[in-house]
Structures are given as C-alpha cells and as structure tokens.
Amino acid sequence: MGDRGHFPTIEDVLTMLEAMTRDLNTIKKHNEYRDRELGEQRRKQLVKDRENKVITLEVGHGPHPDGFEPGAVDKRTGTEEWKMNHVCALACKKHLDDLGYINVFVTDENNYLSHIGRNHQKSRVFVSIHHNAFSTDAAQGSETLVHDKLATKAHRHLAELCSVHMSKALNIPNRGVKTMGLSVLSGAIEGNTHRSDQGVCLVEPYFITGGDVDDHSEWSRKSGIALGKAIDEFLKYWRPL
C-alpha cells in the first residue's frame, strides 16, 4: 500500500521499473566510459614505459680486434655459433619491436668484451647472446649465466625467465642459471651496481652440437622469440624491492 492508502497499479510498477532501468543503463554507460578511460591510460603508460626502456642484444663472437671469432662450430653441418647468435638476436628484436618497444639495439661491435659492456651501461636490459657446444651430440638444454660477483636479484630473475622461456619453446631441458666472471657482463654492470632495475645476463639457448637439432636457424629463431618474451615479462613485472 502506498501513501494515503494508495495501492500501486501495474502502470505504476512498470513506470518505476522503467526508471530503474534508465538509472542502471546510465550507471553501466558511466562504468564503460570509465573502463575505456582507464584502459587508455594504461595503454599510454605502457607505451611510455616501453619507449623509455633501452634493450641491448649483444651478438657473441664475430668481429674482434684480434681477429674474427666464429665461436663454436657444429662439425656435422659446419654451422657457426656467431651466425646463429645473429639469428637469435634479430628474432628477439623483431618480437620486441612488434610489442611496441622502440629502443631495441642489436650490437656486433668489433671491440673487446669489457668495452662492449661498458658502451651499453645505460641499457635497462643487456643480454649477451651465445650458443652452447659440447664434444658429443648428446648434450642439450637451455642455460643462462650471470656475473659471479656483481649479479643482483634482478639479473638472476631475468636469467631465470630467459632459461625457462627458451627451454619451453624448444622443448629441451632447463639447465638453469650458472655464474661466471664474464667481462662482457661486468662491463655492463660496473658503475650501475646501485641499480636494482637493470637486467644483465648471458644466454645459451641450446647446444648447436646437439644431435637433435635438425634446423639450426629455426631453433635459433624460436630461441629469439622466447628471449623476447622473457625480456618483456621482466620489464613488465620486475619491481625493485
């Protein structure tokens, strides 16, 4: 019963329902507009973040002041590590370019390793790309390396992501993260030891001497895409403590 003993009629109820529907539609449109605005803001922030992040992919071996270094060579096919390092780096760059990163650089400097690292100390991510090798064709797996004395939690986290993504993409064992006093890594780190947001590591996606490698270029291309995914995940989610 309404005011003064008035019972609502069907028309009254329908009118109230129409008013409630209009209010709900107004709220829905407001929420949709707000969601679009927030989505656009997040998109712009993501683009800005990607524009501000310098990524350097260093191609291992190749030109050197003391003479050209092909790196490891697969005796079965004559495939040189240096060439596969290039394939991997370029595939990684393309993947990151497609994601919207605009400061992705592939370097193959004719220089000493420590100098190469120092020339790219400002990079948010510095990855030296290599491929593994062994005396027999039975060895296989992805692994990464960080500096044995200068590595930070960020370096190790990036290395872990790279190893996981590469081994998954190639369906081979994950040999994990190793440590070694590599000059190319120390060069990139020295002067940045205070930075907790920089990722520096060396990657070895697979053994080029592995008997299961039927197409080196394809394996290295897949490795590069996996590396790009790892770098993107690191840059999106790593937050210094």
Q: Is 155 helix (H, G, I), strand (E, B) or coil?
A: helix
108 and 197 both lie in a single domain = yes
Question: How many domains, in total, are found in the chain?
Answer: 2
Residue 159: how many CA atoms within 13 Å on its side-chain side?
A: 25
99 and 21 both lie in a single domain = no
- Contact assessment for residue 131 and residue 71, using Cβ atoms and an 8 Å cutoff: yes
Here the CATH number for the domain that contains residue 191 is: 3.40.630.40
145 and 205 both lie in a single domain = yes
Residue 238, token pair as written in the block: 């790593």
Question: What global pTM score does this model have?
Answer: 0.80
pLDDT band at 228 (very low <50, low <70, confident <90, very high): very high
Query: What pLDDT score does 72 carry?
Result: 95
Task: Show the domain range for 77.
Answer: 53-237
Percent of the residues in the chain that have a pLDDT greater than 70, as a whole number: 90
203 and 131 both lie in a single domain = yes
196 and 92 both lie in a single domain = yes
pLDDT in tens, 3-55: 556 667 877 777 887 878 887 888 888 787 777 766 666 655 555 566 678 99
In a domain, 1, yes or no: no
In a domain, 181, yes or no: yes
pLDDT at 75 over 80: yes
In a domain, 112, yes or no: yes
28 and 65 both lie in a single domain = no
135 and 232 both lie in a single domain = yes
101 and 148 both lie in a single domain = yes
16 and 79 both lie in a single domain = no
118 and 164 both lie in a single domain = yes
Average pLDDT, the chain: 88
Query: What pLDDT score does 15 carry?
Result: 80
In a domain, 93, yes or no: yes
pLDDT band at 62 (very low <50, low <70, confident <90, very high): confident
pLDDT at 220 over 60: yes
92 and 123 both lie in a single domain = yes
Residue 204, token pair as written in the block: 């070895």
107 and 197 both lie in a single domain = yes
Long-range contacts, 42-47 (Cβ 8 Å, 24+)? 46/100, 47/100
- Tell me the average pLDDT across 206-214: 97
pLDDT in tens, 97-145: 999 999 999 998 877 777 788 888 889 999 999 999 999 999 999 999 9
